[in-house]
Amino acid sequence: MALVSNTINYVDDDTLLEGFFAYDDSFSGRRPAVIICHAWGGRDDFVKQKAEQLAALGYFSFALDMYGEGKNGSTDEERMALMQPFMENRALLQKRVNAALYAVTLLPWVDDKKIATIGYCFGGLCALDLARSGANIKGAVSFHGLLNKPDFVSDKAISAKVLTLHGYDDPLAPPAAIDEFAEEMTGLNVDWQLHAYGNTQHAFTNPDAKFPDNGLIYNPVAEQRAWQSMQNFLTEIFA
């Protein structure tokens, strides 16, 4: 295996964005692509690692940049300031994620008929909103993502299959939010799944999540189960 990785610039109107891509060049020809949506902190080493793991599985992986020029927040206040404009304007959020999708479809290593997205925390919402926008993707996977629906409905049907991997005790999206999400997806006639992990809180895939007072706790068993479920899902949608 020879892993190839680098950063690449793309744009959303006048905003310069910096994505990170990875692929294994021992696989020949075009391959399915997975767009990775980062958490509220920005395109960091965590999503870079996920991109490399997906590349090792034979996918072209692309960690998008929501904030511009690969920007990261170093404090909670900075992270909130970066994320909040997108939480308040979901049309802007969907536009920014679709800019990444467009950039990926132009890359020579990508089978543009086989693209999916995954996301973590805020990125889970980004992945779900790419599906909600009616984008031409095969699937969307949310890891402990925010689930609240936008205050508008796209005029395009959701064609993507949806997989939500969630801690049942997640304080940022509690059981009531899970129920609302299920009703939303069912009402939109989406092919959806939701795996809820018991005794599991927010950020369960992140080894640095060690903040029980805030409900952010790493859970290696749930992480492994979720990663395997994602792999099964990708195999299904790209068949």
pLDDT in 10s for each residue of the chain, 239 residues? 689 999 999 999 999 999 999 999 998 889 999 999 999 999 999 999 999 999 999 999 999 999 999 999 999 999 999 999 999 999 999 999 999 999 999 999 999 999 999 999 999 999 999 999 999 999 999 999 999 999 998 889 999 999 999 999 999 999 999 999 999 999 999 999 999 999 999 999 999 999 999 999 999 999 999 999 999 999 999 99
Rounded to 10°, the helix 76-88/90-105 angle is: 90
Distance separating alpha carbons of residues 201 and 174, to the nearest angstrom: 9
Q: Residue 1: its pLDDT value, please?
A: 66
Q: Give the count of alpha carbons within 13 A of 169, CB side only.
A: 14
Residue 224 burial (CB count, 10 A) = 11
How many domains are there within the chain? 1
What's the domain range around 101?
Answer: 3-237
Q: Which helix or strand (DSSP H or E) is residue 102 part of? A: helix 90-105
Q: Residue 54: its pLDDT value, please?
A: 98
Residue 132 burial (CB count, 10 A) = 27
Q: Which helix or strand (DSSP H or E) is residue 234 part of? A: helix 220-237
> CB under 8 Å to 130, separation ≥6 — which residues?
35, 37, 94, 97, 98, 101, 117, 137, 140, 160
Tokens of 225: 């189960």
Domain CATH code at residue 128? 3.40.50.1820
Distance separating alpha carbons of residues 88 and 123, to the nearest angstrom: 15
pTM of the model: 0.97
